[in-house]
Amino acid sequence: MMKRMLASVLTVVLALSSFAGLQAEAATKKSVKSTVDSLVIRQKATTSSKKLGLLYKNQTLSYKAKKGNWYKVSYKGKTAYLSAKYSKLVKSSGSKKQSTGGWKTITNVSATAYTPYDPGSGNLTAIGWNIKSSKKKVVAVDPRVIPLRSTVKVYYKGKLKGTYTAADTGGAIKGKKMDILYYSRSEAFNWGRRSVTVKYK
């Protein structure tokens, strides 16, 4: 009887230890951070490989492995590569939230609109959200102006138009420009282009 009790206790202790180890591993994930502006994200670990996108300075992607002078990362739900010469491996807490500091304000932002059905939109945003399968409130931004994953409040004529997540980018979105995601072509058309005030954090 005593042996059975000791065996049961030992099993519980081992299970708890394993769970704690998994928690610690989940809490400390690794990411790859760009150390330069406009670091090319490649499909394969070679400079002649297809260009998938750009990673701006201090932006990160989830780390998978190291392959020679390249980091294997996750980009828009797929495997991609970053040159280790222009990036570095950093530890990031999986539960760490963005800074809760005050809101930053940008005025006279040129805001246009787009839909998931526009040519070239694709299914996934820059941070990997599938905008065709789940209706998320998204704005496309220039990450050098508004960091990706920021909470963004858009004001038009002094009134709050909506609260979004900076989850996407675009080739034409440079500087004080943004693209607001609509799931209705008529709403996107009616929005057109407007000058807005943006608060983000």
State the Cα angle at 117 between 116 and 123, rounded to 5°.
Answer: 50
Asked if 63 and 73 touch (Cβ cutoff 8 Å), the reply is yes
CA distance 159 to 149: 23
CA distance 5 to 12: 11
Domain boundaries 29-96, CATH class: mainly beta
Mean pLDDT, range 33-53, rounded to an integer: 88
Tell me: pLDDT of 19 over 50. Answer: no
Q: Which residues contact 78 (CB under 8 A, 6 or more apart)?
A: 52
Q: Which CATH superfamily hosts domain 104-200?
A: RlpA-like domain (2.40.40.10)
CA distance 65 to 51: 19
What residue ranges of the chain are covered by domains with CATH 2.30.30.40? 29-96
pLDDT in tens, 164-187: 999 999 888 999 999 999 999 999
pLDDT in tens, 108-125: 999 999 998 888 777 789
The pLDDT of residue 3: 52
What residue ranges of the chain are covered by domains with CATH 2.40.40.10? 104-200
- Secondary structure of the chain in the HEC alphabet? CHHHHHHHHHHHHHHHHHHHHHHHHHHEEEEEEECCCCEEEECCCCCCCCEEEEECCCCEEEEEEEECCEEEEEECCEEEEEEHHHEEEEEEECCCCCCCCCCEEEEEEEEEEECCCCCCCCCECCCCCECCCCCCCEEECCCCCCCCCCEEEEEECCEEEEEEEEEECCCCCCCCEEEEECCCHHHHHHHCCEEEEEEEC
Q: pTM score > 0.85 for this model?
A: no
Residue 21 token pair? 């180890």
Nearest to 50 by CA among 40, 59, 42: 42
Distance, C-alpha 55 to centroid of its chain: 11
State the Cα angle at 150 between 145 and 153, rounded to 5°.
Answer: 90
28: pLDDT confidence band, cut at 50, 70 and 90? low
Tell me: pLDDT of 10 over 60. Answer: no
